[in-house]
Every structure is written in structure tokens, then in C-alpha cells.
Structure 1
């Protein structure tokens, strides 16, 4: 009989929803307002990063604001884009969430965005998708530190080795791997090759809870076991 995960822990930006273009547009407008320039390559540095780390990079690009003010302004900009332009779910993500719900497998959202932003996205899902949210302002150490995922597992009252993490960035993957979870990479804007994910899927489109159960089962097969 297949072993199944006791929870699936989801990253948000780039994994659940395609908000990266909204973040990049907000960053560009902010840097340019201080007379600087912000390229696509510059923006890629921030994908998956903790908020304070991202704010420091923007300060180094010429943004003369306190880190907390940068974080708040960018969050406001992205939330406004979500309100006016909609929530662009990544292919297959909403459907996989729904299938996990039907299978009785708990889920948590683990994001480095602010809690108010994460809750705003969760509220736009038309079913009760997540048991809990761990956000960037809930932890001392952002991804790639394992703390966000370890905190989610503790709140769900499970061992992290009983969970699957789904991520789209190298920073997030490193957090999942360091936590001890089975870690699945679904690349979006940046490559995940050579990061060390347990498995890479090109998309969540067409994937089901059964696929995640199979992944978890294979990763937990006894050493030397054959199928």
C-alpha cells in the first residue's frame, strides 16, 4: 500500500499564482522613481527571496527608503494589481489543491510575502484551500532557511519528513530540502536544475493527489527496494 504525505506545503508567488510580473512591475516603478534602472535580470535576483533581503537589494539600486516602507509599498502595489487585473493561478495549481482537499490531505501556504497579501490571495480561492498560512512576517529566518517550512509542520502537528513541499525558486527549494521534506520543483521564471529537488515537474497541469502520493511513496521506499 502506498504511503501518503500527511500534508502538502505550497509556496505562493510563482508556484500557486503567477504574481511575479506584478512584483517586477512594482519594483521597476519604485527604482525608476528614484532615478535608477531595473532590468529583468535585476528582478530575477529577488525571485523567492525574503522581504528584507529584497528590500536591501532595492536600496542598493538607489531606493532611498527604509526596508519596511519598501516592503509595504511593493505589497500595496501587488495587491492592487491582483484586485484590478485578477489572480493568475499557475496551470494546474487550483485543480491540484482541490484534488488534495478531496483526498483529505491537509495543505498549508508557506510564503515570504506579507501575511496580509497571502490572506488576500487565499480569500480569492472559491473553496477552503489551506489549513493555515505561514508568511514572511511570521518567521525570524526567511527562505532559504528551513524555518518557514518547519513552522508550518509544527502548526500542523506533523513531522516535516511526512510533508511534500512544492516550490518554483532555488531559494524556496533550498528551504524545503533543508527542512527535510520531500521537495518538488516546478520551474517557472528561473531554472531549478542542479538545486537538488527530489523531483522536477515541468508543470502541475494534469497532476493529481495520486501523483503526489506516488512521489512521496517513491521517495520513502526502503533502500534497495524494487518496484
Structure 2
């Protein structure tokens, strides 16, 4: 979701800087980008260690979510072409799943801005024991869709997410956003989802 369907990374980064500053710590863009795609509790522990935020990781995550949810409710920052591609997939009857390490209360306002049937399953970070880059999130999504992961095309924007999808057996369409993504055996790269139609998506999967 983050960086692929919506570009909320600037919201997260701004909230991280504000939280660390509140506790008198120091933060950097390098630290912020290290968290892209991570399980939120892992990010919370990282912020505690590197930002000097004297809260438990779960409390840090709650504070981050408060800030980011507030921004999303003001404006959902859709990624170019993402809603159009999702709409085309829905109209064609292609089952879609949302696999994100964000928690349900952050995902909710974004889902509210989409038609109710946009995703047949939604796997959030608070639904799995092991987050990305572990394959569990994508394995769970495929199971709930009733399909083999090998028949799934994952769309990701980070190394962490791409590793998760690859390890589950999916083909991965990588659309890099805030962080560079390495080449991989089952990774196909594209600069943007803008202008990508179903035929183009089928070619990506076949390739």
C-alpha cells in the first residue's frame, strides 16, 4: 500500500521527525528511509534505539499512526495510475489483495476512499506474526484469495516488500518510489503505474 497504492511515506517521515524532536533526539532522512516497507514494530524499535524516543515500540507505533492517520483523513495521496489500474482489475473480475505492513487503523481511511469491493482480502501488519521481508503476509493473502502464490503478481516499491513477495513465490512488479530496489530473478521493473492497462500487466506477468 505505502508507496504503491498511496504515497504516504512523506507523512510517515514528517511524523517520525516530529516524534523524535519531541523527545530531544536526532533523526535523519537516512534513518527514515531505512524504515520503508518494514514491520511497524521493527520500525518502532529502530526509532527507540536510533532516535532516543523513550517509549515502548508499540507506543511509538501508536504515536506514528496517530500522526499519519490524521494526515490521510485530510487527503489521500494516491500514486499515479494506481486507482485506475485497480478499477480495471476489479471490472475484469481479477481478485485483488492488499498486503501491507501498516496496521488496520491506518488502512481503514484509505479503504473508505475506495469502492467497498476493491480488495477481496486485506492483510495488515497486525494480522501476521512475521512481517515483510518474511513471506507470511503474501502467503496469507494468496491463501485467502484461494490461489497459488505462483499465480500472483505482487506490486511493490521496496526491497523489503519485494523480498517478501518473492519468497512467497510471486512474480513482482517493482515500481521504485523512495528507495532503490535491487534486481531479482522474478522482479520486473517499471517507473510508474500510470498508463499501465490489463494487457500491459499480463505482459509483465508473462515476462
Interval of TM-score (by shorter of Structure 1 and Structure 2): over 0.9
Structure 2: runs of 5+ lacking an equivalent: none
Question: Which SS does the other structure have where 2:173 is aligned?
Answer: strand
Q: Which of these residues, 154, 163, 173, is aligned with residue 165 of structure 1?
A: 154
Please report the TM-score for the alignment, with normalisation by the length of structure 1.
Answer: 0.88
Which whole-Å deviations, capped at 9, do the CAs of 1:50-77 have from their partners, x for residues lacking one?
1111011101120100111111111111
C-alpha distance in structure 2 between counterparts of 1:36 and 1:194, whole Å: 35
Matches within 5 A, 1:107-122: 107-122=96-111
Q: Which of these residues, 198, 202, 205, is aligned with residue 213 of structure 1?
A: 202
Matches within 5 A, 1:65-214: 65-84=55-74, 86-126=75-115, 128-214=117-203
Question: Which SS does the other structure have where 1:53 is aligned?
Answer: helix
Matched-pair contact (CA < 8 Å) for 1:160–1:180: yes
1:34 counterpart residue number: 23
Moved more, 123-132 or 94-103: 123-132
Matched-pair contact (CA < 8 Å) for 2:38–2:160: yes
Choose between structure 1 and 2 for higher RCO, CA contacts under 8 A separated by at least 6 residues: 1
Residue 64 (structure 1) aligned with residue 54 (structure 2):
yes
1:182 CA drift (Å): 0.8
Matched-pair contact (CA < 8 Å) for 2:73–2:109: no
C-alpha distance in structure 1 between counterparts of 2:41 and 2:33, whole Å: 16
Question: Which SS does the other structure have where 1:184 is aligned?
Answer: strand
Matched-pair contact (CA < 8 Å) for 1:185–1:197: no
Structure 1: runs of 5+ lacking an equivalent: 1-11, 219-227
Structure with higher Rg: it is 1
Matched-pair contact (CA < 8 Å) for 2:35–2:43: yes
C-alpha distance in structure 2 between counterparts of 1:126 and 1:158, whole Å: 23
Q: 1:70 to 1:195 in 2, by over 3 A?
A: farther
C-alpha distance in structure 2 between counterparts of 1:187 and 1:110, whole Å: 17
Please report the TM-score for the alignment, with normalisation by the length of structure 2.
Answer: 0.96
Question: Which SS does the other structure have where 1:41 is aligned?
Answer: helix
Matched-pair contact (CA < 8 Å) for 2:45–2:56: no
1:25 counterpart residue number: 14
